[in-house]
Amino acid sequence: MKTIFMKEAEVPREWYIIDAEGKPLGRVAAKVASMVRGKHKTIYAPHQENGDYIVVINADKIAVTGNKASDKIYYHHTGYAGGIRGITFEKLIQKKPWEPLRLAVKGMLPKGPLGRKLIKNVKIYAGADHPHGAQNPKKIEF
């Protein structure tokens, strides 16, 4: 078999929009990660960026089940000794409403330069307004 290499300019790119209101966090993140990776296309190659652009709206109204709103903790480290910090889902969604979804999608993408490039193709907005109307994004229902 031959390895398929698509040139960056030859890859057909589309814009899609997902309304996350009332949908489970993990389901939305899995769908976004799969589409930004390009797994729904016949030209998919795991080593290339040939996915689409995804716009997610209403990220502040995303749903989590059970007690995850109060029990789920997002950790980060400041870089200093004993500098581990944690914030619950409830507080994070109030402070940065787009961040839980961004972190979930980022965790589902490959680690390294390709993953850092792919996360830039995901645009997440807290409300229903977005500045990508000129791209005519197609609505995705699932």
**Residue 10 within any structural domain of the chain:** no
At 91-116, the pLDDT tens digits run 999 999 999 999 999 999 999 999 99
If you write DSSP's letter for every residue of 32-91 in order, what string do you get? HHHHHHTTTSTT--TTS----EEEEE-GGG-B--TTHHHH-EEEEE-SSTT-EEEEEHHH
In a domain? residue 4: no
Look at residue 2 and tell me if it is in a domain: no
The pLDDT tens digits for 14-55 are 999 999 999 999 999 999 999 999 999 988 989 999 999 999
Number of alpha carbons in the 13 Å side-chain half-sphere of residue 111: 1
Residue 133 in any domain: the answer is: yes
- Is residue 8 included in any domain, yes or no? no
Is residue 24 a contact partner of residue 33, using CB atoms and an 8 Å limit?
no
Q: Is residue 9 part of a domain?
A: no
- pLDDT reported for residue 85: 97
DSSP at 133: G
Evaluate if residue 1 carries a pLDDT over 90: no
- Average pLDDT over every residue of 111-139: 97
pLDDT at 6: 85
Number of domains in the chain: 1
Is residue 5 in some structural domain? no
**Under 8 Å CB-to-CB from 129, ≥6 apart: which residues?**
57
- Only one residue has tokens 């791209």, namely 135
Q: Show the tokens assigned to 114.
A: 């390709």
Write down the pLDDT at residue 2.
80
Q: Give the predicted TM-score (pTM) of the model.
A: 0.93
What does the mean pLDDT of the chain come to?
95
Task: Give me the CATH number covering residue 119.
Answer: 3.90.1180.10
Range of the domain at 91: 15-139
